[in-house]
Amino acid sequence: PHPATCPGLVNKGSRSRSRRSWIWNQFFVIEEYAGPEPVLIGRLHTDMDRNDGRTKYVLRGEGAGSVFVIDEKTGNIHVTKPLDREEKDEYRLIATATDRQTDRALEPSSQFIIRVQDINDNPPVFDEGPYSATVPEMANIGTSIIQVTATDADDPTYGNSAKLVYTLVQGQQYFSVDPQTGILRTAVPDMDRETQDQYLVVLQAKDMGGHLGGLSGTTTVTVRLTDVNDNPPRFTQSMWSFSVSELAIPGAEIGRISAMDADLGENAKLEYTILEGESGDTFNITGLNQEAVITLNKAVDYESRSSYSFSVEVLNPIVDPRFLRRGPFKDRASIRVAVLDADEPPRFSRARYHMDVSENCPPACTVGRVSAVDPDTGLTNNIRFSIDPQSDPEALFRITPETGLITTAMELDREREHWHNITVIATQRDNPSQVSRVLVAIETLDLNDNAPELDRQYNTAMCDSSSIGQVSMCLNYLRSLFPFHSSVYKMFILKTWKDTKTHVKETSRVITGTTFWHYTFLSLGTWTASSAKDCNFSRRCEKTLSDDYTAAAAAVLSFCLHVWRSWFFEVSEPNTQSLQLHG
């Protein structure tokens, strides 16, 4: 027996036995092979076949009767349609040979395989494309960006149909790709995002090892350069000029300046400062990243200084040391601020005045003087002064409009009102809208113009048998203590009818709620009788009480009399009315 041969048939050897055996080849069919009629792929044969037409060949199994058909007389097998290895790469069938007349099996059924042989009919495919990737700008040559992968549905174990090679179709001047692994890398150094921030790369995967005739597939990779801090900040101008009125209040905006940084995000963050020593602390600067606002920190005065010149600096707070070679990451600009003259109100020589005047001073008594100047001209003769009537409703004071001299309009009483707070107004003659005000505090000074008072009317009686030194009664004496002046207190026995010695003692005690602490025990004198004149002490004793301006209440002086006859008694202060007691 001989194996059959035909197009599409590949002889891989035979299966046989020495006596009564099946004879056929191991069959292969090339995928996608097609012709006008069914294609012979092989022949089945048994040595029991005597070529007399009695042997019948039957085919059963996968694709039998549809994909594969057999000539029952000759055993020739044909494929009826093109096959796709990627769908099914082999078919298992069963061959049977029988006697056509008796239908008796001439051979036991036997299984065989028809294999579909691969051809390069599938191009590579990038399943995950298109791709997007990033790489830092200024990256070194060979920096890995991304790995792309393609697949090929052909048989990787047969020939080179699935052997892939990667190449660049677009972007070769900036990037490279590993032909075996598909890793995309940078091909040039110092790719600058500020020049070009995005690149479109086209990659190809080709089978057959990249040789001619191989199939290929392509994909794209969008490469974006991420930012690094490789650009120093720069002012948009080297000098700015602004102006501000001398009437502007602190916090007023003077102007805005701007700087640029080609980087992004934190790499473009800017900080602004006014260089020390050039303008003091007259101005402030507040950064708004690409812009900064200059504001007034202190009031300015045209007459004192008409312009300011200073420098400002901008810098990156975060610096990448790899790019310091590109220069300092800061810049400077000059600022000039002109102070505009304005019509200012009069300016008093003091922020607050304190004056004093004695009580009971007659009208037109001088209290003091205020002064003001026109800050624009430096003159004082174009200013008029007046007293705000709301601050002096009783019109206790007058002011000379031209000189600012303050005088009393009537007598003042300290015991009625100690302090007077008035407001003086200064007005420019040529511009009445320019007005300034100042507080004048006037203190009324105390005079010793109030006599002592007894707390009540005293009457007493004593027996004839009262002994000398016996206490008859005590007198309480009231005296205002705000302020508590130094005073000399005197006690006189005015009249008596007996030549009797009387001792008088003075004591002073504390009143609850005051801060005046004073205690004395003093023998004032010894009385002797005289028929020719009013009785007096044989010697006069005087006690001076110390000032204590923190006291604000009444002190009580108790005078205890050691007498036993009728008497008249007087307590007085210098230049005051006497108070008389009868007992």
Both tokens assigned to 182 = 């598909």
Both tokens assigned to 277 = 């020593």
- Predicted confidence at residue 554, as pLDDT, reads 32
Both tokens assigned to 380 = 């004082």
Both tokens assigned to 51 = 């070529």
**CB contact at 8 A, 73 and 141:** no
Neighbours of 369 (CB within 10 A): 16
Spatial separation of the C-alpha atoms in residues 319 and 330, rounded to whole Å: 10
Q: Whose structure tokens read 């300011």?
A: 308
**CB contact at 8 A, 207 and 120:** yes
Cβ neighbours of residue 95 closer than 8 Å, sequence gap 6 or more: 22, 24, 44, 57, 58, 59, 70, 109, 110, 111, 112
Spatial separation of the C-alpha atoms in residues 138 and 68, rounded to whole Å: 64
Q: Is 563 buried (19+), middle (13-18) or exposed (0-12) by CB count in 10 A?
A: buried
Residue 172 DSSP SS3: coil
Neighbours of 73 (CB within 10 A): 14
Query: What single-letter amino acid sits at 236?
Result: T
**First-to-last CA distance in the chain?**
180
Give the DSSP per-residue string, 543-567. Answer: EEPPP-TT--SEEEEEEEEE--S--
Angle at 222 between CA 216 and CA 223, to 5 degrees: 120
Both tokens assigned to 557 = 């002086």
Spatial separation of the C-alpha atoms in residues 14 and 24, rounded to whole Å: 6
Spatial separation of the C-alpha atoms in residues 281 and 298, rounded to whole Å: 7
Q: Whose structure tokens read 């002490």?
A: 537
Spatial separation of the C-alpha atoms in residues 354 and 422, rounded to whole Å: 11
Neighbours of 135 (CB within 10 A): 21
Cβ neighbours of residue 352 closer than 8 Å, sequence gap 6 or more: 438, 439, 440, 441
Both tokens assigned to 290 = 């690409």
Name residue 399's beta-bridge partners. Answer: 406
Spatial separation of the C-alpha atoms in residues 159 and 501, rounded to whole Å: 156
Dihedral of CA atoms 275, 276, 281, 285 in degrees, nearest 10, equals 20
**CB contact at 8 A, 564 and 466:** yes
Spatial separation of the C-alpha atoms in residues 272 and 235, rounded to whole Å: 11
Q: pLDDT per position in the chain (583 positions), as tens?
A: 233 333 333 333 334 444 445 665 568 888 777 767 788 888 888 888 888 888 999 999 998 989 999 999 888 999 988 888 888 888 999 999 999 988 898 888 888 888 888 788 889 999 998 999 999 999 999 999 999 999 998 888 888 888 999 999 999 999 999 999 999 999 999 999 999 999 999 999 999 998 888 999 999 999 999 999 999 999 999 999 999 999 999 999 999 999 999 999 999 999 999 997 767 899 999 999 899 999 999 999 998 899 999 999 999 998 988 888 887 899 999 999 999 988 889 999 999 999 999 999 999 999 999 999 998 888 899 999 999 999 999 999 999 999 999 999 999 999 899 999 999 999 999 889 999 999 999 999 998 877 666 666 766 665 656 566 655 555 555 544 444 444 444 444 444 334 444 444 444 333 333 332 322 222 233 333 333 333 333 333 333 333 333 332 233 334 444 333 333 334 443 443 334 333 3
Q: Up-side HSE of residue 475: CA atoms within 13 Å toward CB?
A: 25
Q: Whose structure tokens read 């041969």?
A: 5
Both tokens assigned to 522 = 């003093």
E-strand stretches of 90-180: 90-99, 110-117, 131-136, 144-147, 165-170, 175-177
Give the DSSP per-residue string, 340-389. Answer: EP--PPPEESSSEEEEEEETTPPTT-EEEE--EE-TTT--STTEEEEE-T
Both tokens assigned to 30 = 């090339």
Give the DSSP per-residue string, 427-482. Answer: EESS-TT-EEEEEEEEEEEP-S----EESS-------TTPPTT---EEEEEEEE-T
This prediction's pTM: 0.53
Spatial separation of the C-alpha atoms in residues 479 and 485, rounded to whole Å: 10
| Gyration radius (Cα) of the chain, Å | 63
Q: Whose structure tokens read 């507080």?
A: 439
Phi, psi of 216 (to 5 degrees): -140, 160
**CB contact at 8 A, 560 and 471:** yes
Angle at 130 between CA 124 and CA 131, to 5 degrees: 115
- Predicted confidence at residue 37, as pLDDT, reads 78
Q: Whose structure tokens read 């420019």?
A: 428
- Predicted confidence at residue 49, as pLDDT, reads 82
Spatial separation of the C-alpha atoms in residues 552 and 444, rounded to whole Å: 16
**CB contact at 8 A, 583 and 460:** yes
Nearest to 576 by CA among 483, 484, 490: 490
- Predicted confidence at residue 454, as pLDDT, reads 62
Burial letters 243-258, b for 16+ CB under 10 A, else e: ebebebeeeeebeebb
Tell me the CA distances in angstroms from 547 to 167, 302, 445, 559, one per residue in order. 110, 52, 14, 21
**CB contact at 8 A, 337 and 252:** no
